[in-house]
Amino acid sequence: MDDTKIIFNIIQKSVPNDHPSVYLYISGNRLTKQKAVNNIVKLFDGILYPPYSIGHVRTVVKTILKVKSDQHKRGEIEITKIY
């Protein structure tokens, strides 16, 4: 298993669909999407990086959030509102 797949699996298991950052990414504009990515990356500070670079972790987080957004648009997952 390569590094990207390891990071992907760890983050996917740790960030459920009802996480507030997932809601921000799906329902927000450009700035809130960036804030959502930053919030999730901060969760793994000291766990996934320094072994992996922060840029690598950020790229994987963006990919996971994009996948969750696409799943939400197709109706496969429900997102819990934070307000």
Contact 32, 43 (CB under 8 A): no
Query: For 15-63, what is each residue's pLDDT tens digit?
Result: 999 999 999 999 989 899 999 999 999 999 988 888 889 999 999 999 9
The Cα–Cα gap between 39 and 42 comes to 5
Q: Is the pLDDT of residue 83 over 80?
A: no
CA dist 65 → 11, 42, 45, 50, 54 (Å): 10, 15, 18, 22, 16
CA 21 to chain CA centroid, Å, is 7
pTM of the model: 0.89
